Homo-oligomer: A and B are copies of this chain.
């Protein structure tokens, strides 16, 4: 008997658009534009890669997951004023992960643009 209902997606980087939080975070950590969750939240929103405003909870969950997988590493920063920050940095594995995402996203974006072009032609014609 085979397992059922289990989310299995052979394509590891299959794009559920919300998952775009992940590549966005990896990228921002790579550029150094942001290093902790709260900043990443606003930066991700500013990028516009995700279609709607991102939920803070989603960002923190992504960060914890990425850390669990070894794609990012964190250290607590209690130096500044205000609550402690958990600063993240990209690992080598994280860079590789970002590279995989780039390939998939570029391919998918192209397919979407092709579709939009053809569909627009259809609409113009009719």
User: A residues near B, CB below 8 A?
Assistant: 9-11, 14-18, 20, 23-24, 27, 30-31, 47-49, 51-52, 95, 98-99, 101-102, 104-106, 108-113, 115-116, 118-120, 122-123, 126
Contacts and interface: CB of A to CB of B under 8 A. Distances in A.
Contact of A111 (B10, B14, B49, B110): B49
A107 to B, nearest CB: 8
Contacts of A116: 102, 105-106, 109
A5 to B, nearest CB: 13
Contact of A110 (B95, B113, B119): B113
Nearest to A116: B106
23 contacts: A9-B52, A15-B51, A17-B17, A17-B108, A20-B112, A23-B115, A24-B115, A27-B115, A27-B118, A27-B119, A30-B123, A48-B111, A49-B111, A51-B108, A95-B123, A95-B126, A98-B123, A101-B119, A102-B119, A102-B120, A106-B116, A106-B120, A109-B110
